[in-house]
Amino acid sequence: MTGRDSPPCPLPSAAMSVDVEDWFQVENLKPVVARETWDSRESRVVRNTTRILDLLQQQGAHATFFILGWVAERQPGLIRQIAERGHEIASHGYGHDLIYTLTPAQFRSDVERGKKLLEDVTGQRVTGYRAPSFSITDWAVTILQELGFEYDSSAFPTVAHDRYGRLTGVDGGDPVLELRPGFHEVCVSCLPLRGRGLPWGGGGYFRMLPYVAWRAGVRRILESGAPYLFYIHPWEIDPGQPRMKGLSRISRFRHYVNLERCEKRFAALLEDFRWTTVRSILDQKKPAAPSLSRSA
């Protein structure tokens, strides 16, 4: 068989991640959903997460589930099911507070509580973390490492966003970085375009853009040799969730745009690429991962 007749080499595996939180815990709804009402709200997280698990299983795909401790405390059976289906269990903190609204002591308490809940429920060591709304800060990294985490996956080095945090030295040029000895950052994916990083990791961006264009962007990232990291929330495949009144126009758009199309697009994405955990991508890249710690 000639080189021309040879089939194209398969693209490397991409990393799939799921941020497990219920619909009423989202930052966009915070102005109209008080925290003290969470327990009285209709919970839809088990139904939606189970559907994602089923879609992953249909394609033989594995994912990292960044799980809110508040959910794990109330739905331990769901967390055990995620682990038993062979997925990576990681932390999304406990109470879904933006990191930079907390003191370091409050952040430590929140993350330690969430981590312990996940480890008690699954019997597995939890080594990965993702900040609510990607609100990571430099000082939080120290605390994460002290608590036994080995990587963070919160950096989203894209154009300006009003909630995303920033890490010094992380600009998206290297999507997997060793921030400190033994502690890595695995960035959410962006598509390079004229020196800017277009958000290409999931969320409202995935629901809003044409799927054909999104797929082409993912392929371009993988063909460049860079790892690709996607994220989704269980509530994004649930167009039947309650519609809250009193939201600003931008918050309403961010939360509800194209919910009715998301499950079909997500299923197509799972079929079009090969998927593995964030941990697997990190372990593959570790030996060659650039380090910020050498200049510290």
Domains and CATH numbers, the chain: 14-295 (3.20.20.370)
Q: For the chain, count helices (H), then strands (E).
A: 10, 11
> 88-91 and 151-152: which strand pairing?
unpaired
pLDDT of residue 2: 38
**What is the chain's pLDDT, residue by residue, as a tens digit (296 residues)?**
334 444 456 788 999 999 999 999 999 999 999 999 999 999 999 999 999 999 999 999 999 999 999 999 999 999 999 999 999 999 999 999 999 999 999 999 999 999 999 999 999 999 999 999 999 999 999 999 999 999 999 998 865 555 676 888 887 678 999 999 999 999 999 998 766 788 999 999 999 999 999 999 999 999 999 999 999 999 999 999 999 999 999 999 999 999 999 999 999 999 999 999 999 999 987 665 566 653 33
C-alpha 240/C-alpha 61 separation (Å) is: 26
Q: Is 64 helix (H, G, I), strand (E, B) or coil?
A: strand
Tokens 């929330």 belong to 233
| Alpha helical stretches, state H, 61-156 | 69-74, 76-84, 104-122, 138-146
Find all residues with CB under 8 Å of 119, minimum gap 6, and list them. Answer: 125, 126
C-alpha distances out from residue 83 to 76, 118, 212, 228, 242, Å: 11, 10, 32, 23, 29
The answer to whether the beta carbons of residues 218 and 190 sit under 8 Å apart is no
To 5 degrees, how large is the angle CA 260–CA 159–CA 22?
35
Q: Residue 187: which of 178, 196, 195 has the closest Cα? A: 178
C-alpha 186/C-alpha 115 separation (Å) is: 19
Find all residues with CB under 8 Å of 294, minimum gap 6, and list them. Answer: none
Length of the chain: 296
Tokens of 295: 């200049």
pLDDT of residue 4: 41
The answer to whether the beta carbons of residues 154 and 129 sit under 8 Å apart is yes
DSSP label at residue 6: S
Q: Residue 169: which of 285, 15, 296 has the closest Cα? A: 296
Q: Is 251 helix (H, G, I), strand (E, B) or coil?
A: helix
pLDDT of residue 5: 44
